[in-house]
Amino acid sequence: MSLMVLGTVALDNVKTPHGEKRNMLGGSAAHFSMSARLFTQVHLVAVVGKDFPREHLDLLRQRGVNLTSLKEADGATFRWDGEYKKDDLNSAITLETQLGVLQEYAPEIGNDQRHIPNIFLANYDPDLQIKLLDLVKKPKLIGLDSMNLWINIKKPSLLRLMKLVDLFVANDGEARALTEERNLIKAAKALRKLGPELIVIKKGEHGVLFYSDEFMFSFPAYPVEEVVDPTGAGDTFAGGLMGYLTKAGKLNAKTLKQAAIYATTLASFNVEGFGMTKTAHLTLPQVHQRMKKLMKCITPPSLELVAA
Amino acid sequence: MSLMVLGTVALDNVKTPHGEKRNMLGGSAAHFSMSARLFTQVHLVAVVGKDFPREHLDLLRQRGVNLTSLKEADGATFRWDGEYKKDDLNSAITLETQLGVLQEYAPEIGNDQRHIPNIFLANYDPDLQIKLLDLVKKPKLIGLDSMNLWINIKKPSLLRLMKLVDLFVANDGEARALTEERNLIKAAKALRKLGPELIVIKKGEHGVLFYSDEFMFSFPAYPVEEVVDPTGAGDTFAGGLMGYLTKAGKLNAKTLKQAAIYATTLASFNVEGFGMTKTAHLTLPQVHQRMKKLMKCITPPSLELVAA
């Protein structure tokens, strides 16, 4: 089985307490692809400008990402300038956004891509996310990510879209903003009512919460000591999640837990380097090594109950 | 084996989005005792005033708490007035504190209490915490809790005390304030260097992190939907932790993990009611029932690794 992702491919300038890097390969669909490619072939649907560096394209292609529907349009590539401050490495401060070719873009895919069963709508304009769904035939699993910008300016489109998807991924702030519930269990329940059968709330350094009508589970994050650049951690998480689920070919509590562990592990690598420094060179054996460490850290004991 | 706790016994007035309650039994040592009594006999070392309601004493006594060293002094019982706002139920806002009999108190214990092996120094003035240690003979296990007030105004005493204890419990804010490290793994390592072999960082709704030279583990909290009053959750957690460890009689990774699961479960009951509404009536079978639910929610899958 294969996997399609719609989202942004960007040039990122990022400043963190660990330094500053310019013109890095970034964007929601790029980070997603770099993670999901470990499990399955990923078809990337996005647009870049004529200025997009050849080496970024080469990197994605070398990692097995299908770029048939990565359009190269006249104009400048989408750019994001962001900063993270020492006292809150979880929160990006956007310094500047240049939409460039994003302004004129509508997703297009090849005829042979219409039957790709698993789709992920990475963070993007919900109207364009809906447009991609119009292009595909009977998908098996649709995942969706969004962000506060769209919750604020395109809530009706986002709500319409939520009725069409199976799995919704949000960070804690987005979940709260969309539902107006402070408590994350309540927020998850409220999100479930908006449509998606499976709700995934990412809590950054505090881990992740999965909620459905049948089960709920919660895992801590991998204990990362040096967060260098968290940009793309959520997309990397989603890539691991959807990538593993595509490979597994089944969606149940067991495969979702496995997928959560893979996703958590991949996200931990992402934050340890600028951009894709770490994730671009990852191999599954390296991921598995860290997964075993993570399991050691988060597996509760087999209960021995005290006599009453 | 038995357990001794030094701390406050208070009359609490608490206002939360769920209502307002006055003259509740509160204080660090009282919450601790109400939790630890499920596992072992707890000797409470504290002071109250002549105004302290008989029914609060009766409740503690009926729950098996040893009150030999609960001194009744001339004057008013320590009072705490606090509020929690809807948008951040994790953070108490202190409206008023009346020290009353706390101002003149120094801990005293009976001769037969000097050999109690396990000691917990619940949140209190570090100089008085040190005084209690002067009264006991060769304790086996000493646990310590503190708070930002003492970090700010009595840091030298607190640092001296930390060299004398085995286990240090702090919430995330306290851990950061004491170490000036934002990252909690780094904060845990810095706390370890201050003396205690075992560091426990409580992250409220996000769970708990245990750190020692030999191991590190992290568990999420029980998913509580209605937080009614979080006052005493940390003390309830510590009571479950020390209570179980006292009952187990051994301190190793396995007993600590078990203790963490008990402590997490007990804290979840605490926050579901005002004061001790929930914890005062708890039985071990009820705790075990919820522990099984917690385990279902936080146990990761047995790994099935994808072929590279």
- DSSP letters of B118-132? EEEE-SS-HHHHHHH
State the pLDDT at residue B307: 87
> Is A147 in the B-facing interface, judged by CB distances under 8 Å?
no
3-state secondary structure of A212: coil
| A136-157 confidence digits (pLDDT tens) | 999 999 999 989 889 999 999 9
A293 in reach of chain B (CB within 8 A): no
Longest CA span, chain A: 73
How far is B283 from chain A, CA to nearest CA, in Å? 8
From CA A65, how far away is CA A83, in angstroms rounded?
28
What is the per-residue pLDDT across B229-262, written as a single tens digit (0 to 9) for each? 999 999 999 999 999 999 999 999 999 999 999 9
Task: Provide the mean pLDDT of chain A.
Answer: 96
Question: Which structure tokens are listed for A74?
Answer: 């006249």
Binary contact (A298, B209; C-beta < 8 A) = no
On whether the CB atoms of residues B89 and B227 are closer than 8 A, the answer is yes
pLDDT of residue A54: 96
Which A residues in the span 192-231 are in contact with B, Cβ-Cβ below 8 Å? 203, 205-207, 209, 216-220, 223-227
Q: How many CA atoms lie within 13 A of A21 on its CB side?
A: 16
* Contact across the interface for A300 and B224, Cβ inside 8 Å: no
* Closest residue in chain B to residue A288, using alpha carbons only: B305
Chain A residues within an 8 Å CB radius of B293:
none
Question: Exposed/middle/buried for A148, CB within 10 Å: 0-12, 13-18, 19+?
Answer: middle
Please name the amino acid found at residue A100. Answer: G
User: Does residue B297 belong to the interface with chain A, where contact is any CB pair within 8 Å?
Assistant: yes
Nearest to B245 by CA among B233, B232, B259: B259
Q: Does A286 touch chain B (CB under 8 A)?
A: no
pLDDT value at residue A222: 96
Quote the CA–CA distance of B4 and B45 in Å, as a whole number: 7
User: B5 or A307, which is more confident?
Assistant: B5
Residue of B nearest to A246 (CA): B306
Chain A residues 229-268 within an 8 A CB cutoff of chain B: 244, 247, 254, 257-258, 260-262
> For residue B143, what pLDDT is reported?
98
Look at residue B119 in the predicted model and tell me its pLDDT. Answer: 98
Average pLDDT, chain B: 96
Burial of A94 (0-12, 13-18, 19+ CB in 10 A): exposed
Return the amino acid letter for B37.
Answer: R
Q: Which residues contact B121 (CB under 8 A, 6 or more apart)?
A: B5, B6, B7, B129, B132, B133, B142, B143, B144, B145, B161, B165
| Residue B167 per-residue DSSP state | E
Reduced 3-state DSSP string for B87-104: CEEEEEEEEEEECHHHHH
Rounding to the nearest 10 degrees, give the CA dihedral for residues B44, B47, B52, B54. 30
**Contact between B218 and A186 using a beta-carbon 8 Å cutoff:** no
Over the range B104-121, which residues count as b (16 or more CB within 10 Å of their CB) and which as e?
ebebebeeebeebbbbbb
Give the Cα separation of A75 and B220 in Å (integer).
Answer: 47
Burial class of residue B22 in the structure, from the number of CB atoms within 10 Å of its CB (0-12 exposed, 13-18 middle, 19+ buried):
exposed
Which residues is B42 bridged to in the sheet? B3
d(CA A245, CA A120): 12
Contact list, A226 vs chain B (CB under 8 Å): 183
- Whether B263 and B307 have beta carbons less than 8 Å apart is answered as no
Phi and psi at A3, nearest 5°, equal -140, 135
B251, B245 contact by CB (below 8 A): yes
Estimate the crossing angle of helix A54-62 against helix A28-36, to 10 degrees. 30
Q: What is the pLDDT of residues A63-107, one digit of tens each?
A: 999 999 999 999 999 999 999 998 888 889 999 999 999 999 999
Q: What is the pLDDT of residue A90?
A: 81
CA-wise closest residue to A7 among A100, A111, A98, A132: A132
- pLDDT tens track for A103-133: 999 999 999 999 999 999 999 999 999 999 9
Percentage helix, strand, coil for chain B under 3-state DSSP, each rounded to 5? 40, 25, 35
Would the CB atoms of B217 and A284 count as touching at under 8 Å? no
User: From A215, which residue of chain B is nearest by alpha-carbon distance?
Assistant: B297
pTM: 0.95
Burial of B131 (0-12, 13-18, 19+ CB in 10 A): middle
**Which is nearest to B236 in space by CA: B190, B202, B188?**
B202
Q: Between the CA of residue B145 and those of A23, B9, B137, B175, what are the distances in Å?
A: 48, 15, 20, 11
DSSP state of B306: P
pLDDT single digits (tens) B271-302: 999 999 999 999 999 999 999 999 999 999 99
Q: Where are the beta strands (DSSP E) in chain B?
A: 3-6, 10-16, 19-26, 42-49, 70-73, 79-85, 88-98, 118-121, 141-145, 167-171, 198-202, 208-211, 216-219
Cα A190 from Cα A175, distance rounded (Å): 9
- Crossing angle of helices A233-248 and A28-36, rounded to 10°: 40
CB within 8 Å of B82: residues ≥ 6 apart: B12, B13, B14, B15, B92, B93, B94, B95, B231
Residue A125: CA atoms inside 13 Å, Cβ hemisphere, count? 12
pLDDT (mean) for B188-205: 97
Q: Which residues of B touch A258 (CB under 8 A)?
A: 301, 303-304
**Inter-chain touch B218–A298, beta carbons under 8 Å:** yes
A209/B223 CB distance under 8 A: yes
Chains A, B: CB contacts under 8 A, how many?
A: 126
pLDDT band at A207 (very low <50, low <70, confident <90, very high): very high
Helix (H, G, I), strand (E, B) or coil at A285: helix
pLDDT tens column, A263-288:
999 999 999 999 999 999 999 999 99
Query: Is A308's pLDDT higher than 80?
Result: no
Q: Which of A169, A69, A183 is nearest to B226 (CA)?
A: A183
ipTM above 0.85, yes or no: yes
